[in-house]
Structures are given as C-alpha cells and as structure tokens.
Structure 1
C-alpha cells in the first residue's frame, strides 16, 4: 500500500510516497530535514544561505560545509556533462550587456571554479547560483536516505523532478506525464520535465527525461531545450529515454523511451 504526503518546500511542491504504511512519518521527517539543509546551504534568495560566503570571497578560498561541497560538486558535474548549458555561474555575472565592451581577458567560466574537498575557490567577479541542480541533488539524496534508513520503497518529488529508491510497489511507480499518458519509473531511477516557457525561443515546448539520477535527468532536460534540432541526437548519444513536444505539439521520443526500464 502506497502512502503519500505533500507540502511546500524551497518554493516547490514536494511529494513523498512510501511503500510501507508505518514509514510515512519518519520518511517525511527525513525528507524535510534534507530539503531544509540544502536550502540553507545554497538558496540565493535567503540572506543567511551559505553560498553567499562563497560569492563574497571574490578569489579567496572558502571552507564550506560538507553539504554545500556535495551540491557544488553536483553542479560542476552537470556543467561538464552538458558543456556548460547547465551553468553554476549566475547569469547576472556571466553575461555581458549588449552595449558593453568585450573584456581584454576571457570571462571566467565554470571551468575556473576549483573545488578541493570542502574548499572552494571561485575567480574574482564570479557569483554562483546552483539552485536548479541543488534541488535535483536534494531529491536524489532524500530518496536514497529514506530507502536506506527505513528499508522501504520511496519516491521523492520536488516540482517536476523526482527520484525513486528501494523496492518498487506492486505494479511499479506509475507516473502521470504532462500532456497525458503514464510511464513506469523503475526503482533507482529518476525523471524530470522542463518546459521552454512562452517567451523562450526553442524548438521544443516540453522535454521529459528518465535517467539514473535526478541531477542528470534535470540537466539533460535543460540541455535538450537549448539544443534544438540536435537534441534528439544528443539524448540518443547517452541512451536516455526521453519524450519531447515540439512547438506544433508533435511528440518525439528517443529509442529507449518505449522501454523506460532501460534507465
């Protein structure tokens, strides 16, 4: 029997589902604590967030908490895997105004951010905003913690990004898809959906990706939206089950989408 709990956390709708009837209360406590810890580490909208110490350092190494170190590592990994499409650098600091003069020296990129254990060094003039990848990492970590500590099957979802861990319920995790339809999400897999938005110039209106973890699923969605015609080839290159809606409402799927367990 699957039990559910829903609440708002870090500006998102959080959904928790567990396969053991008596595990829900403890599972919710675990997930809430992890969401709170992650938000305190890197939510730039919070004045007391730890990430501000990194952004204010301006070229000076900073010792950070183990949790922020993990979140930064995930963000840098996503940046490398997507060729910088998922960028941990704040857009306000990495983008030039149209009328500004090109700098003599190249602008810093995510490749210039150094992370050694729990010591972070960012170039002068750089600010980090890792909120998107941090939320996905939080989903992964929360699902793994519940499955490990309570020995039950679990699904954790924040917004449109989710991860499962532990044993599947009878019939599997049946997930409703945006725009209609369902997909069975295997245990130990993750799924994310991103939309382009009304004002975005993208061939794709919506992208859903299944991957081994939520960080990769979310990063792949963001990359597919930016890659236009090259999105399908890029997704196929990594063997990712994906469903894409184009601007005319037509559905396109990768070869592995028909068999999501391939994730």
Structure 2
C-alpha cells in the first residue's frame, strides 16, 4: 500500500510517495526541512542565502557551509560531465534574460531585454573544500538551479528510505528519484509540462528528470524567454530540442544530461549517446526521438 502527499515549494510541485503509510507524515516533515536548508544555502531569490553572499562578494573567497560546498561541488561535476553545457556561472545571464525574481512575479511584467553577459565558465569557480571557501570571478554570479533541485531529490530519497525502511519516490518539479525496493515499480507520467498529455513509464530505482524550455517562460520586450541558458551565447537556448526526459542512476546525473540537451542541443547529444541513458527528446516541432531503450509506444507531444 502506498501513500502520497503533494505540496508547492520552490515554484514547483513537490510530491512524496512511500510504500509504508505510517512513514508519510514524518518523511514529509524531513523533506521540508531539507528543502529549507538547501533554500537558505543556495537560493538565488533570497537576499539572506549563502549563495547571495557569494555572488555579492564576487572576486573574494567567501566562507560558506558544508552544504553549499557540496552543492557547488555537484554543480562543477555536472559542468565537467556535460562539457560545460550545464554551467553554474550563468547566473548573470539568467538575470539578464529577465529571470530576476520568483517566476510568478516575473510573469506579471514584461522584462526589459539586457545585453547578455559573457559567461565566465565553470573552470573559474574556486572551491576550497577543506576550508569551506568559495570564490567566483568579479562581475559573475552563480545559479545552482540546474543541479540543486536534483541533488535534493537524490539526498531525500536515499535518507528517507534508509531511515524509515521503506521504498520512497521523491519528485521536485521535473526531478524524480526512487530509492528502496518497491513491491511494484512506480508508474510515472512523463510530460513536457504539468497537465499536458503524458506517456507512462515505470521507475523502480534511480533518477528520472525532464528539462524543458516550454514551462518556465515569461514575456520580454522582444518576445518570450525561458530559463535554460546556452553558456556559449549567454542567451536562452534556441537549439533543436525543446524538452528532454532522461533516466540515469541518480537524479543529478539525469538532470545534467536533460539540461545539457536543452542548453546546447546537438553538442550535448554525443555525450548522451555515449552515456547510453534512456532518453526521450522532443524537438521544436513536437517530434519525439527515443534513445537507448526508452520504453516504446511514446507519442509526439
């Protein structure tokens, strides 16, 4: 028997499912506490977050918590794995594109178009793990949105499954992570946006993420913009794929590839092919490409 609870946080839907109903309430409380810790460490929208302090003090080494060290470390691994397609130093470019507040606030106004800044590149982030210090180049800003959400899903699923001795499925926005051994695999509906037509797949373990440029969008003076930045241009990505759904052993790894495909398109496709992670890619016209054993019978979006 399973039990599920759903709520909204981080401007997205959060869903926790367990196969022991007695574990649901305490597990929900623990997930909310973890998300609060991550928010205080890494939110780009809180003036009192540690990330805000690092960005404000660009050019200096800033003492931070071990949690933020871990989150930045994960983002740098993702950048390396993706060949720089998932770059945590796109923060200033995201702001220049108009995403400088909670998405609902951004949507209530027409954002001005700013000149996209040069993305300094993840290699210029300085991370002293031993002393818990982080430094970024002057004039730049970190944005950990591409990896922090997936890391939280991974961490929560593993900890909650072990602590409560049950199978757990954590979903934060488009990032899912399954842990434990469910009696039957979880049935997941994969869609470009919440409420859109979906295809059903099963998930027994690992991570499943969907990245898209069709959901977190807003109006600007020159048209519609979205939050996935191509680090090569500093602008919202305009490659051939609008949505990518990926399975991998962890949500972070799945998110790295799904974000990379949207950010840099064909440039990331070779790495995904070599990794052989099952994938479902939707191009700008709605045509679907399935790779590496993605379940059959998917349809065009």
TM category (shorter chain) comes to: 0.7 to 0.9
CA distance in 2, matches of 1:71, 1:252: 32
Quote how far apart the aligned CAs of 1:91 are: 4.2
Match of residue 101 from structure 2 = none
Match of residue 214 from structure 1 = 251
| Preserved CA contact (<8 Å) 1:196 1:202 | no
Q: 1:227 to 1:46 in 2, by over 3 A?
A: closer
- Given the alignment of the two structures, is residue 195 of structure 1 paired with residue 212 of structure 2, yes or no? yes
Quote how far apart the aligned CAs of 1:205 are: 2.7
Q: SS of the residue aligned with 1:155?
A: strand
CA distance in 2, matches of 1:246, 1:125: 34
Give the aligned CA root-mean-square deviation in angstroms. Answer: 2.3
Q: Give unmatched runs, 5+ long, in structure 2.
A: 97-113, 192-196, 218-223, 225-236, 297-301
Q: 1:139 to 1:186 in 2, by over 3 A?
A: same
| Preserved CA contact (<8 Å) 1:18 1:155 | yes
Quote how far apart the aligned CAs of 1:23 are: 0.4
CA distance in 2, matches of 1:172, 1:50: 38
Quote how far apart the aligned CAs of 1:45 are: 0.8
Q: Give unmatched runs, 5+ long, in structure 1.
A: none
Quote how far apart the aligned CAs of 1:255 are: 2.2
- Given the alignment of the two structures, is residue 167 of structure 1 paired with residue 181 of structure 2, yes or no? yes
Q: Deviations over 1:128-162 (max 9, x none)?
A: 11123111111111111101211110011111111
Q: SS of the residue aligned with 1:252?
A: strand
| Preserved CA contact (<8 Å) 2:85 2:268 | no
Q: Deviations over 1:158-217 (max 9, x none)?
A: 11111011112x321110121432111122x01111223385623223210001111111
| Preserved CA contact (<8 Å) 1:235 1:254 | no
Q: 1:99 to 1:177 in 2, by over 3 A?
A: closer
Q: SS of the residue aligned with 1:89?
A: helix
Aligned length: 251
Moved more, 148-157 or 171-180: 171-180
Aligned ranges 1:30-41 → 2 under 5 Å: 30-41=30-41
Match of residue 181 from structure 1 = 199
- Given the alignment of the two structures, is residue 114 of structure 1 paired with residue 126 of structure 2, yes or no? yes
Aligned ranges 1:75-154 → 2 under 5 Å: 75-92=75-92, 108-117=120-129, 118-154=132-168
Q: Deviations over 1:75-130 (max 9, x none)?
A: 111111112211111342698x7699x9xxxx732101121212212222222111
- TM-score, scaled to structure 1: 0.87
CA distance in 2, matches of 1:142, 1:185: 17
Match of residue 47 from structure 1 = 47
- TM-score, scaled to structure 2: 0.77
Q: 1:89 to 1:156 in 2, by over 3 A?
A: same
Match of 1:233 among 270, 292, 298: 270
Q: 1:59 to 1:229 in 2, by over 3 A?
A: closer
CA distance in 2, matches of 1:205, 1:58: 33
Q: 1:248 to 1:109 in 2, by over 3 A?
A: closer
Q: SS of the residue aligned with 2:25?
A: helix
CA distance in 2, matches of 1:194, 1:99: 22
